Copies of this chain bind each other. A is one copy, B any other.
Amino acid sequence: MDSVFVNILDNLGTFAFAMSGTLTALHRRFDYFGALVIAFVTATGGGTLRDLLTDAGPVFWTEATHYFYYIFAGYLIAVLFQSSLHRLSNTMFLFDTIGISIFTIIGMEKTLNLGFSPLIALNMGVMSAVVGGVIRDVLTHVPPLIFRREIYAIPCYIGGMVYWMMGWTSIPLELNILVTIILIILIRLIAIKRHWSISPHKDLDDDAV
């Protein structure tokens, strides 16, 4: 997983998560320092929990400080262009979905490399993708919304399974990743357009992501 392609997507995902964390925090009336903290935990929270649960040693960002730069860049751009970014919600959605896709894949690979079973790897992958957002919601005192709409984690599970099965074939890694990301984006998009939901509560607000 040391390919340039994976690294670019990983950085893009980190950047996107930092932006989303910053925007949420400022919207919830955090100050600029608090928003930076939320940017950090949104971007790193999932991978941190994965590293703790799998006993992978010191968590990944303690030995790879480039994450700090991408988080700070995402934070800075979110602070400077707050109002414009609200109009770019489609771009933000795309970035965020690329983020959860690539985090799912990287999380799966890291967990498989440590010798865990594919079932654990799949769960760790999805966890790395979505837990940052859950911590963001708990710290900003919002009921974690992902649990109320299936369209966030389920595409990651489907994508992760497809990625894992395609890994058995001779498809090149980059193509496999690309197909997985496009698949996850498509499922999320269709689910939103068609108002797919597995909630028994039909009268929930539909405006939050």
Q: Which residue of B lies closest to A29 (CB)?
A: B201
Distance, CA A34 to CA B134, complexed state (A)? 11
Q: Which residues of B contact A32 (CB under 8 A)?
A: 150, 198-200
Question: Which candidate, A84-92, A135-143, A179-187, is the interface stretch facing chain B?
Answer: A135-143
| CA distance in complex: A119, B53 (Å) | 25
A200 touches B143 (CB 8 A): no
A105, CB-defined interface residue at 8 Å:
no
Q: Mark A2-35, 1 if CB is under 8 A from B, else 0.
A: 0000000000000000000000011011111111
Q: Chain B nearest CB: distance from A137 CB in Å?
A: 9
Residue from B29, B58, B141, B147 within 8 A of A34 (CB atoms): B147
- Chain B nearest CB: distance from A141 CB in Å? 4
**Residues of chain B lying within 8 A (CB to CB) of residue A48:** 53
The answer to whether B57 touches A55 (Cβ under 8 A) is: yes
Contact residue among B29, B35, B119, B197 (Cβ-Cβ distance under 8 Å from A68): B119
Contact code string A92-106 (vs B, CB < 8 Å = 1, else 0): 000000000000000
Q: How far is the CA of A116 from the CA of B114 in the complex (A)?
A: 23
B-contact 0/1 string along A131-165, CB 8 Å cutoff:
00010001111011011111001100000000000
Bin chain A's interface residue count: 35 or more
CB distance from A117 to the nearest CB of B (A): 7
For residue A208, CB closer than 8 A to chain B, the reply is no
Query: Considering only CB atoms, which chain B residue lies closest to A52 in the complex?
Result: B52
The reply to whether A33 and B147 contact each other, CB–CB distance below 8 Å, is yes
Contacts A62-B116, A140-B143 supplied; 12 other A-B pairs, CB < 8 Å: A29-B199, A30-B148, A30-B199, A31-B149, A31-B198, A31-B199, A32-B200, A33-B154, A37-B147, A38-B147, A55-B57, A139-B144
